[in-house]
Structure 1
Amino acid sequence: MSDQSTQAPVVRRVDARHRYEILVGDDRAGLTAYRDHDGRRVFFHTEIDDAHAGQGLAAVLVEQALTDVRASGMRIVPVCPYVAKFLTKHEEFDDITDPVTPEVLAWLDGVLGR
């Protein structure tokens, strides 16, 4: 039996579910959800399961997700409050970050059926 606390987390993009997931061992510890719009990846929700809270996993998840967005040639729109806060401390993503606009919010609400 392996000790999950010693296993390095793994981040994977799950396009069919429009999200990135972070795994600790066999457990999905959290996710950050997105929708793509006009060459931009719009992040709208991030969560870490209570069992994995306080381990810094949200930062690992978001950093790897944003690095993947850069590699894909897309831009970032941080509707999610956690992603927005992360970006205030990580200026290395400034060059690919677009502001949240009323147009993006209206589009997202339509896509999500809100």
Structure 2
Amino acid sequence: MTESPSAVPAVQRVDERQRYEILVDGRRAGLTAYRDRGEQRVFFHTEIDDAFAGRGLASELVGRALADVRASGKRIVPVCPYVAKYLKKHGEFADITDPVTPDVLQWLDGERR
């Protein structure tokens, strides 16, 4: 059964799994994963299920996740290439974006083990 393209996607933060998920008709269509490092939210992976590709869901997911980061008073570190690309097109998050540094990458590698 094909999902309705008119279905309004919902984005939710799932703290226990350290990710944001985008749901279409109650079904998880994708996610963007993060780890918190003090006041930084380090995004390292974004994916959309093939069944939901081509609908702009990744952009909606990341945009709403970054808006949540702003609302929570944290800063963004875009290790994930998709999040980095999104930020280049959406300058409204520049004031809360920190660079990806070797220190952050080393820390993230340790967190993901």
What is the TM-score when the length of structure 2 is the normalising length? 0.96
In structure 1, C-alpha distance between the alignment counterparts of 2:104 and 2:95, rounded to whole Å: 19
Q: 2:5 touches 2:55 (CA, 8 Å); kept in 1?
A: no
Matches within 5 A, 1:47-58: 47-58=47-58
In structure 2, C-alpha distance between the alignment counterparts of 1:6 and 1:58, rounded to whole Å: 16
Is it true that 1:106 corresponds to 2:100 in the alignment?
no
For residue 7 of structure 1, report the CA deviation from its aligned partner. 1.3
Helix, strand or coil at the partner of 1:4:
coil
Partner of residue 21, structure 1: 21
Partner of residue 92, structure 1: 92
Q: Deviations over 1:63-91 (max 9, x none)?
A: 00000000000000000000000000000
For residue 47 of structure 1, report the CA deviation from its aligned partner. 0.1
For residue 6 of structure 1, report the CA deviation from its aligned partner. 1.9
Q: Deviations over 1:23-49 (max 9, x none)?
A: 000210000000000200000000000
How many residue pairs align between the two structures? 111
In structure 1, C-alpha distance between the alignment counterparts of 2:50 and 2:71, rounded to whole Å: 31
Which structure's residues are more often helix, by fraction?
A: 1
In structure 1, C-alpha distance between the alignment counterparts of 2:7 and 2:50, rounded to whole Å: 18
Q: 2:22 touches 2:30 (CA, 8 Å); kept in 1?
A: yes
In structure 2, C-alpha distance between the alignment counterparts of 1:10 and 1:67, rounded to whole Å: 14
In structure 1, C-alpha distance between the alignment counterparts of 2:65 and 2:71, rounded to whole Å: 10
For residue 4 of structure 1, report the CA deviation from its aligned partner. 3.1
**Which consecutive residues of structure 1, in runs of 5 or more, have no partner in the other structure?**
none
Is it true that 1:10 corresponds to 2:10 in the alignment?
yes
Helix, strand or coil at the partner of 1:60:
helix
For residue 5 of structure 1, report the CA deviation from its aligned partner. 2.2
In structure 2, C-alpha distance between the alignment counterparts of 1:96 and 1:52, rounded to whole Å: 30
In structure 2, C-alpha distance between the alignment counterparts of 1:74 and 1:86, rounded to whole Å: 18
What is the TM-score when the length of structure 1 is the normalising length? 0.95
**Which consecutive residues of structure 2, in runs of 5 or more, have no partner in the other structure?**
none
Identity, % of aligned pairs? 69
